[in-house]
Amino acid sequence: MDLKAYLRRVNLTDTGPPSLSELRELHRHHVLSVPLECLSIHSGEKIIFDISWIYDKIVVRRRGGFCYENNGLFLWVLQQLGYQPRVLEARVMNPKNGTYGFPFDHIIMTVELEGRRWLCDVGFGDGIGEPIPLEAGWEEEQDSGVFRLRVEDDEWYLDRKYEIWRCLFKFNLEEWTFEDFREMCEYHQTSPCSKFVQKSICTLLLPHGRLTSVGHRLISTEYVKGGGSVKTTRVLTDEEIPELLRDKFGIVLSGKLIPKDEAVVDPNLVQ
């Protein structure tokens, strides 16, 4: 595992000692370079919960991954660079009914710099592009959207502004280890209730927008100042998808992709 190879993967030539400016640059370059994707699940590849395997997939094979892969690799990078990140677990909100996922549904981390704790997350499709300070009431507009943090009792909520504010996920400040997410990594690649099983997703942040492939749909999103967006959708054929993944996301799969875009089963409603 070569840190310099990772930096090349995210289009950086070098990075300096731990600082807020360097952390911001690392975070931003990662989300602009490494797709959030679950294509392994739909092309016959098992996702192995191991940092060296994840490194090989994302850095050597130039793939992306879902949150455990992207944030797992970023955690390793920050540790190698001396940032001393703290691992937190989050639960993603279902926007259709307002329910939240199971414990360890999503992995995030914080880093302490300049007397503040900074929330980092390079593994959420519609999430932050740069770290944000862990402060209740904080609101910030980034190229990737408008975000805010709020606290109710001991729970923190990361919201994103669409037409209205909507929660992305909730978390608390109890610390965990990467290993604690192993069981949910397996769940999200095997359970019929998992979004990643029901949909073949590949999405990449752009400087002022996002490009997303879901099943046979290609969705181009342009972010508008103040929190809005303009979306266009194109339907793809089976033959067009591999070329699109290669040209737009830099992804070449080793197995045949079976595009999927089914309704997600809510695990809270399964008896």
What is the per-residue pLDDT for 268? 55
* Catalytic site positions: 67, 106, 121
d(CA 92, CA 158): 10
What is the per-residue pLDDT for 97? 87
d(CA 243, CA 251): 9
93-102 per-residue burial string, b: 16 or more CB within 10 A, e: under 16: beeeeeebbb
What is the per-residue pLDDT for 270? 47
The answer to whether residues 59 and 6 touch, using CB atoms and an 8 Å cutoff, is yes
One-letter amino acid for residue 242 of the chain: P
What is the per-residue pLDDT for 68? 98
Check for a shared fold between 3-180 and 184-269.
Answer: yes
Domain positions in the chain are 3-180, 184-269
Q: Which fold has domain 184-269?
A: Arylamine N-acetyltransferase fold (3.30.2140)
Q: What is the 3-state secondary structure (H, E, C) of the chain?
A: CCHHHHHHHCCCCCCCCCCHHHHHHHHHHHHHHCCEECHHHHCCCCCCCCHHHHHHHHHHCCCCECHHHHHHHHHHHHHHCCCCCEEEEEEEECCCCCCECCCCCEEEEEEEECCEEEEECCCCCCCCCCCEECCCCCEEEECCEEEEEEEECCEEEEEEECCCEEEEEEECCCCECHHHHHHHHHHHHHCCCCHHHHECEEEEEECCEEEEEECCEEEEEEEECCCEEEEEEEECCCCHHHHHHHHHHCCCCCCCCCCCECCCCCHHHCC
Could you read off the pLDDT tens digit of each residue along the chain, which spans 271 residues? 999 999 999 999 999 999 999 999 999 999 999 999 999 999 999 999 999 999 999 999 999 999 999 999 999 999 999 999 999 999 999 988 889 999 999 999 999 999 999 999 999 989 999 999 999 999 999 988 999 999 999 999 999 999 899 999 999 999 999 999 999 999 999 999 999 999 999 999 999 899 999 999 999 999 988 888 899 999 999 999 999 999 999 999 999 999 999 987 666 544 3
Q: Which fold has domain 3-180?
A: Arylamine N-acetyltransferase fold (3.30.2140)
